[in-house]
Amino acid sequence: PPTAAEVPLSPTVPPPTEAFTPAEEAPSAVRTEYTPTDQNFPNPERGFSSEVDFDDPDYSQYYEDGVTLVYATFRLDDYVESELPPDFLQYVDSWFDLARSGGVKAILRFSYNDGPFPFPDPDADLDTILRHVEQLTPILQKNADAIAWLEAGFIGAWGEWHTSTNGLDDDPEAKRKILLALLEAMPQDRSVLLRYPSDIMTNFPQPLSKAAAFDGSAQARVGFHNDCFLSTGDDENTYGRGKYTQEQEMEYLAQTTLFVPVGGESCAYNPPRSDCPTALAEMERFHFDEIGDGWYPETLDAWQRQGCYVEMEKRLGYRLSLVSAAWNKSAAPGGRLNLSVELENGGFSPIKNPRPVYLVLDGESRREVLLPVDPRFWFPGETSSFDARLRLPADMPEGVYTLALWLPDAYPSLRSDPRYAVRFANQDVWNEENGYNVLGSVTVDSQAAGDIDPSAGELIVLP
């Protein structure tokens, strides 16, 4: 399938096939307000993640439990000194079909051992790792639709970039080569997450800016995973490993993580730091998209007891809700539809992967048009808005049409699956069958006021 980068974020607007003279402006828009909901529900590429059970092929159980991200570590222990064999590569390739069938996406990692710390089993040397990445590249490219993001992996215990038996964790140039190889292996619309802020800042000393966000550069595609979240004062040496202080690294992350994926897990129970007040504050500060639901058990149990687990379920990643929308309730075939939308993001983070926003008119016929809107800039804690002026087709049948916003997956392979569409946190707007967020209705009526273009051939966005 094409990468999401090939899906345009603004539509091509063809000129009218013949000139026309507007008779009058479109009718006045009518404002509708929407009621938010406290309901918890699954949304793609966010929330608590579950470690995948490779022995159970029924992945629909994750989605049914409200989980849309599965954490999948592919072990390479048998290939520390050899190439990856064809049967293993075929297994990895075919595994993604299970994820798609279950309505979930994968957080991937490749590692050569399962620890233990501090004396793990061997990892591979630099040349072997680079060769393995090269072998995996076609599979990662082919199955990018089912991948949320890739954790860098490969180096050291659990692939966490420490205690490498080949000394790779102490070799900045080796780490740089592996990171660049992984970025090259992944499609340009997918990120690679590093374990330590010091490794991010060594490669990119200045924090990522809004102007450079999502531009496809290496820095714009490097995220962060904290696998000892709140487990000690410095999160078990997550911070302060290099020339930067913990506070410098935290300040850097607070800005950069607004634009790149963030995840991880706890690795120890460490009250009061690991308790709800600090957990919620740091998830918000560092824009957490996901965190593991299986580790560390005592920390997770404490979040349940203290009452913040449910809030995390709702706020990890994005949580978009409509505030209001205004549009003219009737339009003639070939007439104009003016739309204004206002929404809020109550999550910890914005959407991180590319995602189209369509306007849909569904009734006597179904028409859709890609809006020139990028939802990755709908930031948490803010109210966002956009306007659109649209021209209806001149041959559009009269009748009442459902007016909806549709945020499906960017990949054509998943676009028609409503499990991969974004749902707004409002009462009475979600159309589960189609994955729409229903704004209301529009009546297409040849007697409606407003200018008409008799040559309009399709639903388009006007400049």
Average pLDDT over residues 388-415: 97
User: By C-alpha distance, which of 372, 331, 334, 368 is closest to 17?
Assistant: 334
Rounded to an integer, what distance in angstroms lies between the CA atom of residue 356 and that of residue 318? 15
Residue 298 has pLDDT above 80, yes or no: yes
E strands, 227-274, in order: 262-264
Residue 170 has pLDDT above 60, yes or no: yes
pLDDT value of position 25: 61
Distances (CA, A) of 64 to 45, 67, 102, 351, 455: 15, 7, 9, 22, 47
Cβ-contact 5, 188 below 8 angstroms:
yes
For 130-143, how does the pLDDT look when each residue is reduced to its tens digit (9 = 90+)?
999 999 999 999 99
pTM > 0.75: yes or no: yes
pLDDT value of position 122: 97
Average pLDDT over residues 392-416: 98
For residue 420, what are its two tokens? 């991969």
Rounded to an integer, what distance in angstroms lies between the CA atom of residue 111 and that of residue 97? 22
Rounded to an integer, what distance in angstroms lies between the CA atom of residue 363 and that of residue 296? 50
For residue 463, what are its two tokens? 């400049």
pLDDT value of position 11: 31
Rounded to an integer, what distance in angstroms lies between the CA atom of residue 104 and that of residue 61? 10
Summary mean pLDDT of the chain: 94
Cβ-contact 294, 50 below 8 angstroms:
yes
Average pLDDT over residues 157-180: 97
Residue 7 has pLDDT above 90, yes or no: no
pLDDT value of position 12: 31
For 16-70, how does the pLDDT look when each residue is reduced to its tens digit (9 = 90+)?
333 333 444 667 889 999 999 999 999 999 999 999 999 999 999 999 999 999 9
Residue 169 has pLDDT above 80, yes or no: yes
Rounded to an integer, what distance in angstroms lies between the CA atom of residue 313 and that of residue 290? 9
For 196-230, how does the pLDDT look when each residue is reduced to its tens digit (9 = 90+)?
999 999 999 999 999 999 999 999 999 999 999 99
pLDDT value of position 237: 97
Cβ-contact 82, 64 below 8 angstroms:
no
Looking up tokens 């040496």 gives: 237
Q: How many helices (H) and strands (E) does the chain have?
A: 9, 19
For 61-111, how does the pLDDT look when each residue is reduced to its tens digit (9 = 90+)?
999 999 999 999 999 999 999 999 999 999 999 999 999 999 999 999 999
